[in-house]
Amino acid sequence: EAGVAQSPRYKIIEKRQSVAFWCNPISGHATLYWYQQILGQGPKLLIQFQNNGVVDDSQLPKDRFSAERLKGVDSTLKIQPAKLEDSAVYLCASSSRSSYNEQFFGPGTRLTVL
Amino acid sequence: AQSVTQLDSHVSVSEGTPVLLRCNYSSSYSPSLFWYVQHPNKGLQLLLKYTSAATLVKGINGFEAEFKKSETSFHLTKPSAHMSDAAEYFCVVTRTGGATNKLIFGTGTLLAVQP
């Protein structure tokens, strides 16, 4: 089966610009996650969707970050405006009801904010 | 609250020698524990998971880990390192049966394998 797809793989922007990332989870996976991985750290959950509803967005900086999963399939994560400290790899993951604890990760999008 | 502490940020071994990556966890609930591996420019891949069944868990590529509740540890081992094992390894905890399966990652251990 196809894995989690993410695009773009790399993005370089200047601070105060906006950027969007896209994720397509594994077919049939109801749960989708966005993580932020800053260099030298482990990934940190930003937001979790169950179908098109938000389950946990407690660590999402809502003043500048937004995410949606309108049809319960693919998802976009947006940053507006970007700050230098947003430079990180943004990982998308998905999981199914049958393997609830196992999350499958995409390759990530590496964002550099100059 | 839940957390994991990876005791070594860098580990270097010679090819063919044993690997030990150490992880201690803290959890107010019955934990599920995982090890993920991340090769450069690739996504995270699940190596193995413990979800309250057998305490000795076998994973892919010859890795295994033992859940020790008395020591709150979940160390990752492999009898003989291969060059392809060079990567970053993350110990992860989540709450078994929780409303969400939010993963809490450690800070990672970078494994180098010398020829």
The Cα–Cα gap between B107 and B36 comes to 12
B103: which 2 tokens? 């993963």
Picking from A6, A23, A101 by the largest number of B CB atoms within 10 A of its own CB, the best residue to mutate is A101
Do the Cβ atoms of A108 and B45 come closer than 8 Å? no
In this prediction, residue B6 carries a pLDDT of: 96
Of A75-84, B9-18, B33-42, B77-86, minimum mean pLDDT range: B33-42
pLDDT tens per residue across all 114 residues of chain A: 689 999 999 999 999 999 999 999 999 999 999 999 999 889 999 999 998 899 999 999 999 999 999 888 999 999 999 999 999 999 999 998 777 568 999 999 999 999
Identify which of B42, B99, B103 has the shortest CB distance to residue A103: B103
Please state, in angstroms and rounded to a whole number, the distance separating the CA atoms of residues A101 and A94.
10
Residue B103 to residue A43, Cβ atoms within 8 A: yes
pLDDT at B94: 86
Q: What is the pLDDT of residues B78-112, one digit of tens each?
A: 999 999 999 999 999 987 666 667 889 999 999 99
- How far is residue B25 from each of residues A25, B2, B28, B31, measured CA to CA in Å? 29, 8, 10, 9
**Residues of A near B (CB-CB distance < 8 A)?**
3-4, 31, 40-45, 48, 55-56, 91, 93, 95, 100-108
Distance set, CA A54 to CA A30, A36, A75, A109 (Å):
12, 17, 12, 22
- Contact B60/A at CB under 8 A: no
